[in-house]
Amino acid sequence: MSENRESIANRSWVSFSSPHLWAFCIATIALRLFVSNVGFFASPKHHDSLFWSAKQQGNILSICASLESVPGVVESDFITRDTSDRYEPGTNATLIKNATIFTGEISDGEKVVLTRSDILLDMGIVKAIGNLSLTYGDSNISVVYANGAWVTPGLIDLHSHLGVMSIPLTEGASDANSKKGPTVPWLRSIDALNTHDDGFKLAVAGGVTSVKVIPGNLNAIAGEAFMIKTRPTSKRSPSSMVIELPDLWNVTKQEGKYVPWRYLHQGCGEDLIVYNLTRMDTMWTLRSAYIEALQHKKVQDGYCADAQAGLWASLPTEFPRSVKWELLTEVLRGKVKVSVHCNEAVDIDSMIRLSNEFQFPISVFHQASEAWLVTNGVLNETWGGAPAVSLYATKHRSKRESFRGSEFAPRTLAEANISIAMQVRVSPAMSSRDLMFEAQQAYHFGLPAHLALASVTSVPAMIAGLSHRIGKLREGWDADVVMWDSHPLRVEATAAMVWIDGALQIPSPAYKPAMNIANPERRKMPTAPNWDKERLTASVWDGLPPLSNRKEDRKIVFYNVKEVWTRRSNGDIEEIFPSPTDPDMNGRGRVVVERGSLICVGGNDMCLVSEYDAVDYINLHGGSISPGLHAYGTSLGLEEIPSEPSTGSGHTIYNPFMDDIPQILHDVGGITRAADALTFGTRNAKVAYRSGVTAATSYLTGPQGAYPRVVLGLSTTFRTGSAHSMQYGAVIQDVTALHISIAMPTVGKDHVGVSDQVAALRRLLFGWESTDTETGLWFKRAAEGEVPLVINVNNADIMTTLLLLKGEVEDRIGSRMRMVFSGATEAHLLAPEISNSGVGIILNSLKPYPTTWDGRRILAGPPVTNDTTLSTLLKHGVTVGMGMKGPQMAQIMRFDLASIAFQALKSMDRLEVLALASRNLDILLGVREVNRDVVVYDGGSLFDLSSKAIAVISPQRQGVDMFGA
């Protein structure tokens, strides 16, 4: 900070802030006034101020006037334009006929949805909306028959690093998060915007047409953010992507035009640890920055007061400017939309005090995990009124400060009249493509449908001060439009067509949309379960409800059951109700459970129980009973908070290439067992259990943020609902599989080359390490096919190396290895070879993201490509399982499965979809004991998001766990 202060102190105009200099100036001004009445006389002290021309004075006065100007625009002025400033010449007009249009309006009930409506796009804007005649006088008009399909405004993602943290990630394009200091308001994300980021087209594929590019998350002030559109422009430049480029260099130019909003991003809390800043340090660094800006503002205001009073002779001819504090000064003038990235109540409160101390409004709190706990007047204390809140729906708890985040936050905030925007979680890498998925989850957990849709359209537009042109479908607004193949709040909804500035972006040439076969059922709004009790409990417990279950030993009769699926003794899933011979029984089944077993399954009039039994009768309202899901691939059950080693096992696994493995382990690979580090009853495990995920296989991954490990050790499989490992049935399998990772170097980390990693693997599989050690023993077992070898690998070339190595090992020792590739984003390139080699695949995402160079050749899936990695592998007969990207993802695992079940994969039946996250994982991971826990859903099947899990029936534990609120 001292450097900044010095550079400012060197300028003469800063001296206005010192009282004795003020006195001097006032005296001089008085003299000038006198002198100016008499005529021009040279003043020995102010040579330069003598020569003010009328033009110079005019310039200064217009600069001073511009300080007062209010950014943004009156809608009625703006929409009279007949061509968008963003119109790309050559773009045809488009008429969309017979659509169901969500307009983005939330105040006027009637206009929220227009049915059987048409919409005309031309010259980059929405020209007309309503019942339009086909005879629009332009021959170059493309007509799209929506046939009732849903159309929404283009989506807006306010929390994006697109272009500044370009994917695939490389050292050369890691431009976010300046390391030059915690407070760098003078930086601009536009200066680093890589137009070639692979993320742009995936964002568009998700219907995202505008994003705010934030320069970083890890600084107290990361710099200036910019609102851009996600389409490529004919100029191919970053500047041409910006929606309303502020004139950053010439204030006078803006005279007469409206002034665009500018954007500033602030952070706080734990992220600042990278700068060794405590919360108190962070607030001080922010305050000292604002103090600088305030001084600068006073200097400018004083200068202008003199200029406006005609006291020219006292003024230097240069208008006082500070390139460093210019943006913060604009914040103090109310010309900047400030977003603040703060999680906890303490951080939110500090920021609110800051806004009052320096009198600037905050437009939105990002990722404010605890905002929902302080709706009782706190947010309203912000200077200028309550900010909006931008959240992701689930996936909290990655940090201590987000531990009290809740799936009920969007609803709770909305009920307190706080505007809600949804955002995606940047890590684990989720792309803007998933933005609507966040809105779907928010809706599932209680946010009203129109607010859920507005949370990704009109609300973010309002937050960004751009609601005069984006976020709504209205005459005169930008022609950013998405047509969906389903109701947009259904998890399987895919953007079938996307226009930006009237230009068609999606479908891509490689994709053939199947609008005509879309089922009208899928256009209906899904229903959401009732979470009133859970929401209340979460709030009473400050975000940490006990989530305890009640073990029910009595006989239970579930009635109005839609379907019952269980697992056979060989692990296969079968439908036992409704029976194929009596399909009409759908929704009218009855299941009697005693000591954890289904003792009778039949129609509602069957399975009668003796009136002398103590019996609980539970109406499932068309619900279902189906096998529990299996979570794979994360540290679930090994820790409470990934970034806090003290909350779990600590993950001290070694990288034999880099670490000195402690002699006490006496093991060249440093292999350890995850089973030894299991921690039961973690919040993620409890939430998983209540979300239908009854078992998990986890392995140690090494400390968060450390260099990647090659040998990951031995995984374990356990019940998510157990209290400790000595409880009956808690540990399903002590040692499940051997896990390694083979990858190209990770950006920003020390690394080991691929050939080194493979050389070590070859050596170990060939048995050149003593079996007296864990490493020798378990690699021998892997080579002999006794234990599966699960390899985290994305790259197709590395996969081929591994397939060849597998053949070599098998030839040599006459075995059949059980090899599994996990992650495997490029597996579709090798589907036949993988199939021939008998290797299984565990995918961790349906919508892969080309995060790393070695996994960048993804098959994006609809609406970019018809095929997905999953469909390609299944077509070739590969056994595929579905894993997860983070321990919090278990809560939404069935959303993923539902989207597969309802999407293009017509070739898969629902039992096969369920098998992806149960039976197939058991097979691939070598889980010997079949997990026979079944989950009871009220209000629908596990694929219907109208349902919620209410109980787990456990034959092994001979009881039923009923979930309390």
Ligand X SMILES: *[C@@H]1O[C@H](CO)[C@@H](O)[C@H](O)[C@H]1NC(C)=O
How far apart are alpha carbons 481 and 502 in whole angstroms?
Answer: 8
Angle at 169 between CA 167 and CA 175, to 5 degrees: 95
Query: Near ligand X by CB under 6 A, which window of 249-257, 704-712, 740-748, 795-803?
Result: 249-257
Smallest distance from the beta carbon of 420 to ligand X, in angstroms? 31
Nearer to ligand X, 107 or 276 (CB): 276
Among residues 258 and 275, whose Cβ is nearest to ligand X?
275
Q: Shortest approach of ligand X to residue 762 CB, angstroms?
A: 38
Q: How many residues bind ligand X (CB under 6 A)?
A: 11
Q: Residue 882: enclosing H or E segment and its boundaries? A: strand 880-882
Nearer to ligand X, 130 or 148 (CB): 148
- Least separation, in Å, of the C-beta of 433 and ligand X? 25
| Residues 573, 911 contacting (CB under 8 angstroms) | yes
Minimum Å gap between C-beta 321 and ligand X is: 12
Q: Tell me, residue by residue from 138 to 157, as one string, x for binding to ligand X by CB under 6 A and - for no binding.
A: --x------xx---------
Instruction: Between 174 and 835, name the residue whose CB sits nearer to ligand X.
Output: 174
Segment near ligand X (CB under 6 A); pick from 246-254, 308-316, 342-350, 780-788? 246-254
The smaller minimum CB distance to ligand X, of residues 448 and 703, is found at: 703
Given 80, 250, 581, 755, the residue binding ligand X (CB under 6 A): 250
Return the biggest CA–CA distance within the chain.
114
Min CB(698)–ligand X separation in Å: 31
Least separation in angstroms between CB 488 and ligand X: 16
For ligand X, which stretch binds (CB under 6 A), given 81-89, 248-256, 441-449, 635-643? 248-256
**Nearest partner of 425 among 901, 900, 891, judged by Cα:** 891
Which among 301, 308, 289, 423 has a CA at the least distance from the CA of 358?
Answer: 289
Q: Nearest distance from residue 752's CB to ligand X, in Å?
A: 24
If residue 212 lies in a helix (H) or strand (E), which one and from where to where?
Answer: strand 208-213
Applying the rule CB under 6 A, the residues between 114 and 143 that interact with ligand X are 116, 140
The per-type count for the chain, helices as H runs and strands as E runs, is 22, 35
Q: Which is nearer to ligand X, 513 or 648 (CB)?
A: 513
Residues 6+ apart with CB under 8 A from 156: 208, 209, 210, 211, 212, 456, 457, 460, 461, 464, 470, 471
Q: Name the token pair of 834.
A: 């993988």
Q: Is 4 in the site for ligand X (CB under 6 A)?
A: no
Closest distance to ligand X from the beta carbon of 250 (Å): 4
Is the separation of the CB atoms in 574 and 558 below 8 Å?
no
Assigned token pair, 543: 């975000």
Helix (H) or strand (E) holding 120: strand 113-122
CB of 708 to ligand X, least distance (A): 22
Of 502, 481, 420, nearest to 150 by C-alpha is 481
**Which strand (E) or helix (H) includes residue 27?**
helix 19-38
User: Binding to ligand X (CB under 6 A): which residues in 39-58?
Assistant: none
Encoded tokens for 51:
């020569």
Q: How far is CA 161 from CA 153, 246, 324, 432, 470, in A?
A: 22, 20, 23, 10, 20
535-564 binders of ligand X (CB under 6 A): none
Q: How far is the CB of 473 from ligand X (least distance, A)?
A: 18
The site string for ligand X over 259-298 (x = CB under 6 A, - otherwise) reads: ----------------xx----------------------
Query: Could you tell me the smallest distance in angstroms from the CB atom of residue 6 to ligand X?
Result: 21
Among 250-258, 358-366, 813-821, 951-959, which window interacts with ligand X (CB under 6 A)?
250-258
- Give the three-class secondary structure for 890: helix
Minimum CB distance to ligand X smaller for 437 or for 499: 499
CA distance 701 to 55: 68
Supply the minimum distance, in Å, between the C-beta of residue 182 and ligand X. Answer: 9
Q: Give the pairing type, strands 589-594 and 555-567.
A: antiparallel
CB of 524 to ligand X, least distance (A): 12
Q: Which is nearer to ligand X, 50 or 273 (CB)?
A: 273
Q: Between residues 253 and 724, which has the closer beta carbon with respect to ligand X? A: 253
925 neighbors 820 (Cβ within 8 angstroms): yes
Q: How is residue 581 written in tokens?
A: 């011979």
Question: In this complex, which beta carbon is closest to ligand X, that of residue 91 or of residue 720?
Answer: 91
Cβ atoms of 699 and 713 closer than 8 Å = yes
- Per-residue x/- marks for ligand X, 200-239, CB under 6 A? ----------------------------------------
If the CB atoms of residues 177 and 691 are measured against ligand X, the closer one turns out to be: 177
Residues in region 466-485 near ligand X by CB under 6 A: none
> What value does the CA radius of gyration of the chain take, rounded to a whole number of Å?
31
List binders of ligand X among 72-101 (CB under 6 A). 92, 98
For the CB of residue 113, give the shortest distance to ligand X in the complex, in Å. Answer: 14
State how beta strands 589-594 and 789-793 pair.
unpaired
Nearest residue (CB) to ligand X, 142 versus 530: 142
Q: Locate all alpha helices (DSSP H) within 455-605, ordered by sequence.
A: 458-463, 532-540
Residues in the chain: 965
Q: Which residue in the set 36, 252, 527, 746 belongs to the binding site for ligand X (CB under 6 A)?
A: 252
- The amino acid that residue 628 corresponds to is G
Contact 230, 209 (CB under 8 A): yes
Nearer to ligand X (CB atom), residue 121 or residue 953: 121
CA atoms of 31 and 45, how far apart (whole Å): 12
Which residue number, 321 or 875, has a Cβ lying nearer to ligand X?
321
| 512 forms part of the interface with ligand X (CB under 6 A) | no
How far apart are the C-alpha atoms of 154 and 135, rounded to whole Å?
Answer: 26
Burial (CB count within 10 angstroms: exposed 0-12, middle 13-18, buried 19+), residue 110: exposed
- 402 vs 413: CA distance, rounded Å: 16
Smallest distance, Å, CB 426 to ligand X? 21
Q: Which is nearer to ligand X, 140 or 770 (CB)?
A: 140
Tell me whether residue 196 or residue 253 sits nearer to ligand X (CB atom): 253
**Of 247-255, 462-470, 541-549, 583-591, which part binds ligand X (CB under 6 A)?**
247-255
* Contacts of 736 by beta carbon, 8 Å cutoff, 6+ apart: 697, 714, 715, 716, 717, 788, 925, 926, 927
Closer CB to ligand X, 145 or 728, in the complex? 145
Distance CA 228, CA 245 (A): 9
Q: Minimum CB separation from ligand X for residue 98, in Å?
A: 4
Please answer whether residues 251 and 244 qualify as being in contact, where contact means their C-beta atoms are separated by less than 8 angstroms.
no
Which of residues 76 and 250 has its CB atom nearest to ligand X in the complex? 250
Name the closest residue to ligand X (Cβ). 148
Half-sphere exposure of 963 (CA within 13 A, CB side): 25
**Interface region with ligand X, contact rule CB under 6 A, candidates 158-166, 245-253, 379-387, 865-873:** 245-253
Degrees, nearest 5: CA angle 935-941-947: 85
Provide, rounded to whole angstroms, the least separation between the CB of residue 619 and ligand X: 34
Q: How far is the CB of 746 from ligand X (least distance, A)?
A: 21
Rounded distance, CA 461 to CA 450, Å?
15
Element (H, E) at 296: helix 279-308
Q: Is 253 in the site for ligand X (CB under 6 A)?
A: yes
Residues near ligand X (CB under 6 A): 92, 98, 116, 140, 147-148, 250, 252-253, 275-276
